[in-house]
C-alpha cells in the first residue's frame, strides 16, 4: 500500500522528529498540534524544542514543502498519534490526550486508512482508541468489529528513543509493531520501513504495549538499585562512584549510575501502568518506583544540612532538565528538588540551566536563573543535579571553597 499523506498528531519530543523523518523520505506530512506557538514555529521552518539535528531536518522539510503544521486534523492515508500519557491521582493512567486525538481524527478518516498509536500506553489503550473512533464513525468498520476485513486498520508502535539522540535512534533502532490484526501490523510495518533501518518486528497490540512498559520498568528497577546504593554509601562514608566503577569490573555486573531521582515522561511514569494493571503482583516494580521517587527528598535533606553551615547561604542548583543536554523538564527530579527548596529555603536560590531561556512558572519569583560563572561566584553551596556537558567542563578549582553536593558524579568522572 502506498501511504501518500501521513498525519502526525502531537508535535512534541517524539511527534516532531517522527514527522521530520517521514518528510526526509519525501513523504507529504501534516503535523497537528493544539499549541499555536508550536504550529507557527514549525511552519517557519524552526523548532520549539531542543533536540540535536532536528532543526536542520525540520527546516529542510518545510522549505521543500514536505512538512506543514496545523491545529486541525486533515485527511491522510496514515495517522500517527504521539501525545502525552501522564498519570492521574493514585498513579492511574490518564488517557485523555489519546481520547482527544482519537476523536479529533475520527471525522477525517476514510476507508483504507491506518491509525497507529505511538504514545506509551497501558495495556488495552490501542483497543480503547479504536473504540473511541468507532463510536464517532459508525459508517466505518474497525478491527474489533470486522477483524481483517475492517475499513480502518489500527496498530501500536511505541517509540523507543533516547532524548538527545532521537534523530539517529528513530532510524537505527528496531521497532516493535503490534497490530490489532496481523494485516494491521503488516501495513504499519510497511509504513515504518519507509525510514526505519532497524528491524520492524511484528506482534499483537497488547504485547507491543506491554513491551514498552517492560523496557522502561527494567530501566527503572536498575536505576533504583543504583540510587539505593548511593544512599547506603553516603551512610557508610563510601564513594559510590568508585564503588560502582570497581564492581562493574566483574564480567557479569553492570550497575547503572545513580542520580537525584528519575525523570522524563517514560521511565518515571510507565512502570505505574504495570502496577495499576496488576497491583498485587507488581511488587518489585512498585518498590523501585518508590525508591526513585524518594531520592529527591534525600537530596533536599542533604542540601538543607549543608546550608545550615552558613548564616545567609546562597545555593546554586546546576540543571533543571531530567537528563543531560536537553530542555525537557517533564517529571524532572531536578525541577522537583529546586521547587521544594524554593518553598522551604530561607536563603537565596539561583539556578543554571543552559537549555532554557526562562524559568517555568512554578519557579518564577522565588528562584533566579543565571549563567554558570555568576552562580559559582555567588554560591556557598553548589548542587549538581544534571550532568550537562557545560558542567562536565567545570574546573574543580572553582569549587574548592564551596560545599558541593554532586548527585550525578560529574566531579568523580572529571
Following CA atoms 310, 316, 317, 319 in sequence, which dihedral angle do they give, to the nearest 10 degrees? Answer: -170
Q: Is residue 129 within 8 Å of 81, Cβ to Cβ?
A: yes
The grid cell for 82 is 504521539
Which residue is listed with cell 543536554? Answer: 325
Q: Which residue in the list 27, 184, 200, 212 is annotated as catalytic?
A: 212
**Residue 358 a catalytic site member:** no
**Residue 200 a catalytic site member:** no
The grid cell for 1 is 500500500
CB atoms inside a 10 Å sphere around CB 311: 7
Q: Is residue 168 within 8 Å of 130, Cβ to Cβ?
A: no
Helices (H), 8-138: 15-24, 36-43, 54-63, 96-106, 125-136
Residue 174 three-state SS: coil
Q: Is residue 133 within 8 Å of 109, Cβ to Cβ?
A: yes
Q: Which residue in the list 27, 266, 295, 317 is annotated as catalytic?
A: 266
- Euclidean distance between CA atoms 119 and 89, whole angstroms: 20
Which residue is listed with cell 514536505? Answer: 66
- Euclidean distance between CA atoms 218 and 363, whole angstroms: 32
Return the ∠ at Cα 340 (arms to 337 and 344), rounded to 5°.
Answer: 135
- Euclidean distance between CA atoms 49 and 44, whole angstroms: 14
- Catalytic annotation, residues: 212, 266
Amino acid at each position: 500500500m502506498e501511504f501518500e499523506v501521513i498525519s502526525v498528531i502531537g508535535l512534541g519530543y517524539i511527534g516532531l522528529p517522527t514527522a521530520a523523518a517521514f518528510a526526509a523520505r519525501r513523504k507529504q506530512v501534516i503535523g497537528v498540534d493544539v499549541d499555536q506557538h508550536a504550529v507557527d514555529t514549525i511552519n517557519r521552518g524552526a523548532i520549539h524544542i531542543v533536540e540535536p539535528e532536528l532543526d536542520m531536518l525540520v527546516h529542510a522539510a518545510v522549505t521543500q514543502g514536505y512538512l506543514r503544521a496545523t491545529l486541525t486534523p486533515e485527511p491522510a492515508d496514515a495517522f500517527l498519534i504521539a501525545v502525552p500519557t501522564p498519570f492521574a491521582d493514585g498513579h492511574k493512567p490518564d488517557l485523555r490526550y489519546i481520547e482527544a486525538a482519537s476523536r479529533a481524527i475520527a471525522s477525517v478518516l476514510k476507508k483504507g486508512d491506518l491509525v497507529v498509536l505511538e504514545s506509551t500506553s497501558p495495556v488495552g489503550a490501542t483497543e480503547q482508541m479504536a473504540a473511541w473512533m468507532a463510536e464517532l464513525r459508525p459508517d466505518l468498520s474497525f478491527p474489533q468489529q470486522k477483524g481483517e476485513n475492517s475499513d480502518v486498520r489500527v496498530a501500536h508502535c511505541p517509540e523507543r528513543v533516547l532524548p538527545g539522540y532521537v534523530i539517529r535512534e528513530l532510524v537505527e533502532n528496531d521497532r516493535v509493531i503490534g497490530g490489532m490484526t496481523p494485516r494491521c501490523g503488516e501495513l504499519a510495518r510497511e509504513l515504518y520501513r519507509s525510514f526505519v533501518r532497524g528491524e520492524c518486528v511484528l506482534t499483537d497490540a497488547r504485547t507491543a504495549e506491554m513491551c514498552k512498559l517492560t523496557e522502561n520498568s527494567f530501566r527503572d528497577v536498575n536505576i533504583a538499585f543504583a540510587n539505593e546504593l548511593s544512599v547506603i554509601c553516603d551512610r557508610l562514608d563510601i564513594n559510590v562512584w568508585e564503588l560502582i566503577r570497581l564492581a562493574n569490573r566483574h564480567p557479569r555486573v553492570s550497575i547503572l549510575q545513580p542520580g537525584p531521582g528519575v525523570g522524563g515522561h517514560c521511565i518515571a511514569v510507565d512502570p505505574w501502568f504495570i502496577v495499576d494493571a496488576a497491583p498485587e503482583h507488581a511488587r518489585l516494580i512498585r518498590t523501585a518506583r518508590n525508591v526513585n521517587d524518594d531520592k529527591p527528598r534525600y537530596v533536599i535533606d542533604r542540601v538543607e544540612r549543608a546550608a545550615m553551615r552558613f548564616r545567609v547561604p546562597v545555593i546554586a542548583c546546576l540543571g533543571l532538565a531530567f537528563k543531560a543536554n536537553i530542555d525537557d523538564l517533564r517529571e524532572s527530579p531536578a525541577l522537583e528538588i529546586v521547587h521544594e527548596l524554593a518553598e522551604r529555603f530561607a536563603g537565596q536560590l539561583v539556578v543554571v540551566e543552559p537549555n532554557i531561556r526562562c524559568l517555568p512558572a512554578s519557579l518564577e519569583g522565588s528562584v533566579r536563573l543565571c549563567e554558570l560563572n555568576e552562580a559559582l561566584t555567588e554560591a556557598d553551596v553548589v548542587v549538581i543535579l544534571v550532568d550537562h556537558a557545560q558542567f562536565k567542563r567545570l574546573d574543580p578549582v572553582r569549587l574548592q571553597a564551596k560545599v558541593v553536593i554532586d548527585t550525578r558524579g560529574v566531579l568523580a568522572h572529571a
